[in-house]
Amino acid sequence: MAKLSLSELRSIREREERNLKKRDIHGRTVHVVVAMGTSGINAGAKVTLNAIADEVEKQGLGNVIITQTGSAYPNPEPVVEVFTPKDGLVVYGSVDKDAAIRIVSEHLVGGKIVEDKKIELKEEE
Rounded Cα distance between 20 and 36, Å, is 26
Instruction: Give the nearer residue to other proteins in terms of CB position, either 23 or 116.
Output: 23
Where on the chain is the footprint of other proteins (CB under 8 A)?
A: 1-6, 9, 12-13, 16-17, 19-20, 22-23, 25, 28, 31, 33-34, 36-37, 49-50, 53-54, 57, 65-70, 81, 83, 89
CB of 117 to other proteins, least distance (A): 18
In whole angstroms, how close is the CB of 65 to other proteins at the nearest point?
4
Three-class SS string for 18-54? HHHHCCCCCCCCEEEEEECCHHHHHCCHHHHHHHHHH
Which positions ≥6 away from 62 have C-beta within 8 Å? 21, 28
Q: How far is the CB of 52 from other proteins (least distance, A)?
A: 10
